[in-house]
Structure 1
């Protein structure tokens, strides 16, 4: 009788360990990335201004009355808010204010600036564009100060992190560590030695992988983020194994326990 009970227990154990055929074979993101033909980009310099970027431009000088025509109808009471500490689901946390008139870069890479008219931003970084604008302003203003900031520098963080979502990084400057920090760090199931970064810049798509356990990551062209970067943290083997287990395992174990108890009771009655 004991051997029969043992056989029943083993049978229930085998059933409970059966994997769910409907479960995904692997939870990792972008598994076919290496098979996709992606054009490599040799540009590892600072981000260039892209179509759709929102540039906050403020011109100042010793005599502020002189610069008023170049600042639209802006007043110091106007503020533009960006969220640099939370994703789209928590828009009220960590608000940062950016002050100044906003100009949206059109599909041709131009902005329409007061007095100066259309100014092209194609292929220019924020610093280069600021220098160009300052040179133009010296024709009208003595010693002008030009401030150019990007108000919609957004990156996306997906995968095994605690808070997936889109994040706006203040000042348009950030590293992959900043972005992962905003996303609440990796979960215990995240692969820290293989973080994928997808980048689209000037119509060119590139990708790179970063090992967070290697300090040499600071030398990677993907360490400093660029506008629109997508960071994807894959799941490790532990998460993959867990995902393949039958979700009804707990029910099977409970049924097995009840069955064993019933058999024990029946055996006890027969003995009497």
Structure 2
């Protein structure tokens, strides 16, 4: 009889202390096969084309700054356009980078209205291509001009099983999926690492793709380098699903039952003596 009671106590303790993880086979490590992966990510995947609504900071400089003043209308060096690298996160002032220069918004036709040069079309052009075009046009008026162009409102959204959901403005105008997840504080232990969804809107067309963070081949995915306005969505794994469906008092009940059985075993043991 005493042996049976002890067996029940041990079994109860195991039930309380051991949690079955149906997702245990999924390792939490990222890019597990990086050593065996041929990295062939092309520049095509990383080149972002300028989109309608983009805010472009365009600053023209030259040896004689007076010469380029007409191209930097309504701007002085004291003006700053600030972007927050952690907008939407828990530490809003961390990583703030100040960018300075006149700001132009790309209109519905893909144009920016630039001083002296007039309307400049950005449709289908990368930042580098547009920069080269502006510089070529500028050489008609200025000797050896320097053209600086930055995207002031490069924003990505990270939702789901991450530690800090929100919108994040990236001051450099370029981000990989790792940058976005880093800003969001990484995935929680319940995040599904082998099936992360990216939703993309480009030239008014919505597309989507999925990446496996455990597979180093994601480097070659067109969704590895994020684009303006991308949304990264991390789904919950099976552990989270089971936890959400479980009665929150289950563990409490099991613990109470274990204590009660242990107490009964102790009492019986004392009476046996």
Which category describes the TM-score, using the shorter chain as reference length? Answer: 0.7 to 0.9
1:73: how far off? 2.2
Q: Report deviation, 1:99.
A: 1.1
1:167–1:182 Cα contact (<8 Å) kept: yes
Report Cα offsets for 1:204-237 as digits up to 9, x if no partner.
1111111111111111111111000000111111
State the alpha-carbon separation in 1 of the partners of residues 56 and 74 from structure 2: 16
Work out the number of aligned pairs and report it: 237
Does the aligned pair in 1 maintain the 2:57–2:149 contact within 8 Å? Answer: yes
Report the CA distance between 1:66 and its aligned residue: 0.3
- Equivalent in the alignment of 2:68: 67
Residue matched to 1:219? 220
Shift of 1:248: 4.0
Deviation at 1:244, TM superposition (A): 0.8
- TM-score in terms of structure 1 length: 0.76
The alpha carbon displacement at 1:51 in A equals 1.1
Check 1:92–1:49 CA distance in 2 against 1; reply closer, same or farther (3 A cut): same
1:91 aligns with 2:92: yes
Q: CA deviation at 1:255?
A: 8.0
Can you list the C-alpha shifts for 1:146-205, whole angstroms capped at 9, x where unaligned?
Answer: 011001000000111100000011221110001101100111111111111111101111
Q: Does structure 2 conserve the Cα–Cα contact (< 8 Å) formed by 1:86 and 1:183?
A: no
Q: Which runs of 4+ in 1 moved over 2 A?
A: 85-91, 247-261
Contact map agreement 1:86 1:182 (CA 8 A) in 2: no
Tell me the SS of whatever aligns to 1:217.
Answer: helix
Distance apart, 1:76 and its partner CA: 1.4
Mark the runs of 5 or more structure 2 residues left unpaired by the alignment. Answer: 1-43, 266-273
- The residue matched to 1:128 in structure 2 has which SS? helix
The answer to whether the 8 A contact 2:89-2:165 is kept is no
* TM-score normalised over the length of structure 2: 0.76
Residues in 1 aligned to 2:90 and 2:104: alpha-carbon distance in whole angstroms: 26
Residue by residue over 1:60-98, the C-alpha shift from the partner in whole angstroms, topping out at 9 and shown as x without a partner, is 011100000100121211111111135255432210011
SS at match of 1:171: coil
Residue in 2 that maps onto 1:188:
189
Q: 1:258 to 1:177 in 2, by over 3 A?
A: closer
Write the distance in 1 (CA, Å) between the matches of 2:80 and 2:217: 39
SS state of the match for residue 179, structure 1? helix
- 1:174 matched to which residue of 2? 175
CA distance in structure 2 between the aligned counterparts of 1:237 and 1:251, rounded to whole angstroms: 22
CA distance in 2, matches of 1:146, 1:234: 42
Partner residue in 2 for 1:126: 127
Give the match's secondary structure for 2:198.
strand
* Offset, 1:259: 9.2
1:149-168, aligned counterparts within 5 Å?
A: 149-168=150-169
**For the Cα contact (< 8 Å) 2:162–2:187, is it kept in 1?**
yes
**Which secondary structure state, in structure 1, belongs to the residue aligned with residue 217 of structure 2?**
helix
1:41-80 to 2 correspondences below 5 Å = 44=45, 46-80=47-81
| Aligned-CA RMSD value | 3.1
Separation of aligned partners in 1, 2:92 and 2:143: 41
Please say if residues 54 and 150 of structure 1, whose CA atoms lie closer than 8 Å, have aligned partners that are also in contact: yes
User: Which residues of structure 1 form unaligned runs of 5+?
Assistant: 1-42, 265-272
